[in-house]
Structure 1
């Protein structure tokens, strides 16, 4: 299997009839079987919770305070980038996602050790897993979802056309907004030109430099406090250099005492070194203080200049700037001055400039239209191929007369397109339909198929799409509804084929499907109706024969069923 995400483990506590359960899932095809009511679908319910699904207090096991569902994913490097944005921790390649639901209905979610809203779980896990059950099937009826699936199937051809279209669409919108802004300002442009010219003249005259307000303020403080600074530096020098009690005099005395005992005790020598180091430091400080004190001079003229400069800067910023700090406002005003000439050129161009841009817009719209047509063409080719491939798949899944159609509905490009015809994703709508019999009417997906049929259609779709654009994990519930015999074997074959590129998890009642499993779990209830840790078992080869025999015959002991089970298991080769 190529490098992609998959579900490593799921742990459940106090969910429905499940008291405690833990499944270590494998790559490939994972199958969950068990008697009706044994809690197989509860495992999918738990997974739905950790994927950000809706919580419900009725899911909490009777008599328990809360349920806890935890999933551990192996994620790819691409997924880690999104996880870093929310601060989630990934241990190696493993991501742990947890959802708790209290008996009062309140729920909490965490992703990689970080508490997050349930909606964030949905965003993070959406690229990792696709669930196909009754609720997931309802998503496929939405045109946006159908277009997304078609684009996925279209691969590089559609992606390239879509990227080219979106680039031109973005360029078109930007220029359109620029023209709109220019037209809106046409009536007041003379005033704007005058104001911009006044600003630029004042900026040139100001000759401000970066961070000048703060540096002027610092120098004003220093020159305004020369006497205080002189007293402080002179007092410090006196404290250091006094011949009788100065710090340097006393340190020299201490050093002489310590030098007299040099070589007699290593510990005392360490102390002597620190005293000597202090002496050097204070000696340097004394020299610096002397230089500083000498440099202190009252400069009334300089101070007066700086006061005037400060007032000049503040007045300019008050007139032209905003509410940020003086230094920050100066940076913003510098940027305004830099683009000022171009802004004036746009404004002075007036109607002539607008006409030029509208001519340019017409050219861009022409290329946008061509890109939209190319995208429609790529989608139509993809839709034809998808229709044929999915039809072949579902006809082998006990729907022999059913045909699948993916149709791309595009506007009439030869006519005048409305502005609303163009969207970020092109000008097309995608409609997926089925035809139950030859010459029968085409019916929108979701309206002409039962839940079980929808699951099989989704299976056919995913098997086809996975060849070009596989997801990390697929989960199917009720994919075997209304299927038996040879068709059931075909369902198993297709799930097995899908599992060659991705992890697949299936809840099934069909032995013909279970036989294709790479990893087989059986869920059993205890005598009190609950499912405890030991109630979920990963089966070995001999145990699989027994479980598939039970599914075939409904009996614990049946030699003929065991023989049939062995035959089914032999299909995988």
Structure 2
């Protein structure tokens, strides 16, 4: 239930606040006073499109705020959005800037406009001119019949249909790409087989390049190593040539003798001993290195061939062996996906067959439920229409077979005629605006859930009707308001008389700016307003008396 509505700088409304209660609330006022702005403000709380045109001239933004009493399931939905509905009270806000930017807040959390519409759409409905036009659409007519039939299989059917549609789309894509996948798989298998035949090892190309360079430069390496060995150990042909080992030995002897005479030189003697040992070890290692430098033409040829095989891979699959191995790893994974796609095709085909069978069975059950409910719903609506001064109205839901679709396998059309002897035809083609209003109200009264505590807003529900019919409309709104909150914008006193609370929208002008305001009427003020609405002066005795009689009649 909407417990309060506050609007700021919204169209002609500068500042307005309505404290609302359960039951039937009427909004009246002279033509052009701004009643439509109140409905438009409520529409913005239900997610309607906002633009800069609704912002009052000179204001930075238009703001509509609603305070709602919501059930536990709606409060839980608000918490999912990051908002709060403490003790079942929810505050929603819609703001539109003068530049046209829109903002929505639900329970203190900023949300997309669509989320606002989803939340409030569960607890409130606006019936205006657009609602009448929507009543003419097959989709809305199907929704109305389903609201009465309540097919038990419908939710499952819709879920299965959505799954089947997604599976069919995936299957179509996989089948269309089958040839391309086969080609890609063959290419990957060829590459993987080629790499497996060579069996490269991580870093192998760098290691072989270094080995090949060593084998090819063997003579130069031996010359350099020999020079180093001769400098360390001495020449085998020139016995007088100095060597590092011999010189280090002489230095050790001298420093050892020096240390025997001067303790301060002991450390120097120790380092000389270490140097002699290091020089000897280095000379031995260089000699070993020289001995290992043996020409191996066969190994050089083998290394060259192996590098050639690796080069064949690096030309195709990466600039290095490591990149080739990375390609092989990713390609093996991709090949698994491609092979799995073929398996997925079979899984999808089997699942689609299962879903087709389930959909056919559920569609048949849904059709049966709709056909069974169609006449009952039409009969109840016909009874309501008779009370709304349409005693000869004929209305029926025509349920015919149709291809399987998102909502079943039925084509549903609401057929109507207001005149006896006329063959019923599609509602949208033959019903006038006033007749559409009454059909819509009759359906709402019949379909209203006594436990729903919904908020209904009716605008132009009395369009094109007169006083006697207005009384019947008022009675039905009153009956609907027995278990739901009903807000009606009306120009008929016969409708407004049934209200539990009556607000009037009045405009004022200073010659330059027009402003509309909203005020709650007292009992005496209600009689004056009803007198005005019936075409008399609001202060005339006869008009007031007539209005009071109307209020008394509505109270009975």
Normalising by the smaller structure, the TM-score range is: 0.5 to 0.7
Distance 1:181-1:462 versus aligned 2 partners, 3 A rule: same
1:220-243 per-residue CA deviation (whole Å, 9 max, x = no partner) reads xxxxxxxxxxxxxxxxxxxxxxxx
Alignment of 1:196-215 (within 5 A): none
- Secondary structure of 1:525's aligned partner: strand
Quickly say closer, same or farther: Cα 1:88–1:447, change in 2 above 3 A. farther
Give the superposition deviation at 1:499: 0.9
Deviation of residue 468 (structure 1)? 6.9
Residue pairs, 1:453-532, within 5 angstroms: 453-467=435-449, 470=452, 472-526=454-508, 528=510
CA distance in 2, matches of 1:374, 1:397: 35
Distance in 1, Cα, partners of 2:468 & 2:432: 20
* 1:411-454 Cα shifts (integer Å, max 9, x gaps): 3xxxxxxxxx2233211122123213223243323332333332
CA drift of 1:131 comes to 0.9
Counterparts of 1:383-394 in structure 2, within 5 Å, are 383-394=374-385
In structure 2, the partner of 1:427 is: 409
Q: Does 1:144 align with 2:139?
A: yes
TM-score scaled by length of structure 1: 0.64
Paired with 1:467 and 1:25, the residues of 2 have a C-alpha distance of 21
**Residues 499 and 362 (structure 1 numbering): CA distance in 2 closer, same or farther, change over 3 Å?**
same
Change (3 A) 1:390 1:63: same
Counterpart Cα distance in 2 of 1:178 and 1:107: 37
Per the TM alignment, residue 126 of structure 1 is displaced from its structure 2 partner at its CA by 1.7
> Does 2:555 match 1:572?
yes
Q: How many residues align?
A: 426
Which residue of the partner structure matches residue 119 of structure 2?
124
Change beyond 3 A, Cα 1:521–1:115: same
Provide the C-alpha distance between the structure 2 equivalents of 1:396 and 1:438, rounded to a whole number of angstroms.
16
Q: Give the deviation of 1:569 after TM superposition.
A: 2.0
The answer to whether the aligner puts 1:380 opposite 2:375 as a matched pair is no
Conserved 8 A contact 1:129-1:471: no
Among 409, 429, 444, the alignment partner of 2:426 is 444
Report the alpha carbon displacement of residue 409 of structure 1 after superposing the two structures with TM: 2.2
Shift of the 560–432 alpha-carbon distance from structure 1 to 2, 3 Å rule, reads: same
Q: How far off its partner does 1:557 sit?
A: 1.7
Instruction: Answer with 467-476 or 50-59: which moved more.
Output: 467-476
Residue segments in structure 1 that go unaligned for 5+ positions in a row: 1-5, 199-314, 323-332, 334-339, 412-420
Residue 161, structure 1, aligned to residue 171, structure 2: no
Residue 434 of structure 1 contacts residue 442 of structure 1 at CA under 8 Å; is this kept in 2?
Answer: yes
Change (3 A) 1:363 1:492: same
For residues 85 and 129 of structure 1, the distance between their equivalents in structure 2, rounded to whole angstroms, comes to 20
C-alpha displacement of 1:179: 8.3
Aligned: 1:407 with 2:398: yes
C-alpha distance in 1 between matches for 2:449 and 2:111: 34
**Is the Cα–Cα contact under 8 Å of residues 398 and 483 in structure 1 kept in the other structure?**
no
Taking the aligned partners of 2:146 and 2:529, their CA distance within structure 1 comes to 41
CA shift digits 1:271-313 (9 cap, x unpaired): xxxxxxxxxxxxxxxxxxxxxxxxxxxxxxxxxxxxxxxxxxx
Tell me, yes or no, if the aligned pair for 1:395 and 1:403 is still in contact at 8 Å.
no
Is residue 529 of structure 2 the alignment partner of residue 547 of structure 1? yes
- How far, CA to CA, are the matches of 1:478 and 1:446 in structure 2? 17
Q: Structure 1: how far apart are the matches of 2:483 and 2:547?
A: 26
Cα distance in structure 2, aligned partners of 1:479 and 1:389: 19
Give the structure-2-normalised TM-score.
0.65
